[in-house]
Amino acid sequence: MRPGLRGDDRRSVPGLGGRGVPGSPHRSLGRSQYPVKSSIVLYLCAAAALSVPASSWADTSPWDPKFVDPHPLSDDLTLPLPCGGSMVFRPVDVPSGNGVLDDTEITIGRPDTADGYNQFIRRAYLSAPFRVPGHPELRRYYMAKYDVTENQYSALSGACAPPTRAGQKPRTGVSWDEAVTYASKLTSWLLAHQASALKIDGTPGFLRLPVDDEWSYAARGGMRVKPSEFTAPLWPMPDGGPEAYIAAGPDLGGMQAVGQMKPNPLGLYDMLGNAGQMMLDPYRLNRVGRLQGQVGGLLVRGGDFHANPDDLTTNIRAEWPPYNPKTAQPTRDAAIGFRLVIGADALGSLQATQEAQNEFDALVHKAKEAPGDTQAALAALKEQSQSDPATLAKLARIENALAADSRAHQDAEKKIFGAQVQALVALGNDIWEVNHAIETIHKTQAALGTLTAAQTQQIEKHLADRQKEFDATTEGYLELLEAASASPVIGEMDAIIAVQHDMLHARGEDYLFGMLALAQKNLESLHDKKTVSAKDIQADVAKIPSQ
């Protein structure tokens, strides 16, 4: 068995309602779904619900698990709520290194230019606040497994009404301010009553809305999907296709309880459809591959139940105005809710501050290791300009720009090396498969016994073709190995290999660990000026057992 067998001006953004969107009602940015009077009542009730002092919460028995987590997983993180409630979070691991300033580059958006001002592909950089025990190269944040429900929202009211089935729908019709206030009130309650629950691996956390890049990374599946799958418009949906994962379309019949559809690879439910999800950061346009400078209105991700399911992808973004001029109130919509993440301070201690400065200084020093002629020219210009502060300031800006460019180049080299390692693993697996096929042909030939001349000729031709493929694939592996061994970041191989190991494990591809170990062994040999031959590679691959 092979080892690989396993307002009125609402933007008409597809998948988020608005005019001109198939399968959605006529909802617009400037129209509230509630009359002015009921909208104001809703606002006053919501504000009152979140202003009850913590001391008024009664002790109650824990909620039935069906009102907390219909689909429990072993690595869930559960935070208590007032009135016996709970909220469940999923870990989202990010391969960002073990330094305070380390992060990882991700690519989000769609590569075509349709709706490009809104969804065009761009680079982003992501890290996370919490360490992953035993994996120093990983960082982690936690995202709520489900949207905040009516039951969970009401738990902060102080009334402690028992949860209901109807209350399992997402809490919608709240403003951005109310969603932020809910996160703040819940954090305060936890710090007052269950402070240890918010302390993760020794790091104190707090609750907030997700930012756009966190949501995009988690919605696409993070480390649980292959790079090619991460850049696809939808995460892999093997069990029934989009209709089994996305709660949207006229057949749905309206908003449904959380967790009715299948989850994404990270175990997150309703990331597309059902209720739109508000982000912590505001909406910004896309200026051909980067965010444009103007800060806009509310950013809503994921679409909602009104949308045509075919229009919903992980790239869907929509802007809403923060305020409704017709009600003179913050914008609320019956199809928009929110979910929370657990974050933490970027610098939680004096020690972290010093570590950040030390890492920054080391990065700058390394980045300034420009070619000798460049450094000499800058030094000469500085010497000549000692009496001219303006020129010295310009030279400092040039030097800092060169350092930033050099740092970016180093980051790119690490990314390239990681991709080369991934390719070596894939090629190693191909070599294994061809070798396994050749062995199978030999065994079959032996089992058949006496053969006709025609049969023998056919088998020999098949063997010859496979042998050519075997040798060609091995040659390709050797060429890639030579290129990767010349990488300027080869000295950081252990950390980069560790990240690749974690990514294989996250995707359930542990059977490729042998190929990864072989790639590391071969890279170390070439780095130490040792010879690696085609026969060496083929012999080592043949020793890797099937799983």
| CA nearest neighbour of 273 among 298, 290, 292, 252 | 252
Residue 402: CA count within 13 A, CB half-sphere: 16
Question: Structure tokens of 436?
Answer: 């396994």
Q: Which residues in 260-269 are b (16+ Cβ under 10 Å) and which e?
A: ebebbbbbbb
CA distance 153 to 489: 49
Question: Structure tokens of 414?
Answer: 């690490």
- pLDDT (tens digit, 9 = 90+) per residue, 478-520? 999 999 999 999 999 999 999 999 999 999 999 999 999 999 9
Q: What is the mean pLDDT of residues 247-266?
A: 94
- pLDDT (tens digit, 9 = 90+) per residue, 190-241? 999 999 999 998 899 999 999 999 999 999 999 999 998 999 999 999 998 9
Please, which pLDDT band fits residue 114 given cuts at 50, 70 and 90?
Answer: very high
Range scoring the smallest mean pLDDT among 56-60, 336-340, 483-487, 516-520:
56-60
Any idea what the Cα angle at residue 167 is, between residues 147 and 304, rounded to 5°?
A: 40
Domains in the chain, CATH or no CATH each: 36-344 (3.90.1580.10), 409-543 (1.20.58)
Average pLDDT of the chain is 85
pTM for this model (two decimals): 0.81
Q: 353 to each of 99, 347, 356, 472, how far by Cα in Å? A: 12, 6, 5, 52
Question: Structure tokens of 303?
Answer: 């679409």
- pLDDT (tens digit, 9 = 90+) per residue, 350-381? 888 998 898 888 877 776 665 556 666 666 77
By percentage, how much of the chain surpasses pLDDT 70? 86
Assess whether pLDDT exceeds 80 at residue 388.
no
